[in-house]
């Protein structure tokens, strides 16, 4: 893996952590009523997608089991269709899908760290 990809993956994990911090223990109804949090979380989703798009094909191929295209596609929806974006879908993705994605990314960091330390 290239050092650049390693750095990007660490940034993605940081962005996922930021989204979790923004949500905290918020429930869906509170999230839907909090415009600042919705916008901040959606910007974080966009950041994650942009970072994912910069991962090399080499790394994507090495870790094919990760949902690279899904994360990048989610970014496109958040960026270009924000006004029609279903906030329940965003909330559920952050609460249900991002923890697993984060764990997979953290595993890559833990596995590849010897190469870059």
What residue numbers bound the domain in which 72 lies? 3-116
Most confident of 26-30, 87-91, 92-96: 26-30
CB 69 within 8 A of CB 51: no
Q: What is the domain count for the chain?
A: 1
The whole-angstrom separation of Cα 117 and Cα 110 is 11
**Sign for the pseudo-dihedral over CA of 90, 92, 96, 99:** positive
Neighbours of 64 (CB within 10 A): 7
- Give the pLDDT confidence score for residue 82 in this predicted structure: 60
Cα–chain-centroid distance for residue 58? 20
- Whether 106 shows a pLDDT value over 70: the answer reads yes
Query: Each residue of 5-53: pLDDT tens digit?
Result: 999 999 999 999 999 999 999 999 999 999 999 999 999 999 999 999 9
CA 39/CA 29 separation, integer angstroms: 15
Task: Answer whether 0.85 is exceeded by the pTM.
Answer: yes
Number of residues in the chain: 117
């Amino acid at each position: 893996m290239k050092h650049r990809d390693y750095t990007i993956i660490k940034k993605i994990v940081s962005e996922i952590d930021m989204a979790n911090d923004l949500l905290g223990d918020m429930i869906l109804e509170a999230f839907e009523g909090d415009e600042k949090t919705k916008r901040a979380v959606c910007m974080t989703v966009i950041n994650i997608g942009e970072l994912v798009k910069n991962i090399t094909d080499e790394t994507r191929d090495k870790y094919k089991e990760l949902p690279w295209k899904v994360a990048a596609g989610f970014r496109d929806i958040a960026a270009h269709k924000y006004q029609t974006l279903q906030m329940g879908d965003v909330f559920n993705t952050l609460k249900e899908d991002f923890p697993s994605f984060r764990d997979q990314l953290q595993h890559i960091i833990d596995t590849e760290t010897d190469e870059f330390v």
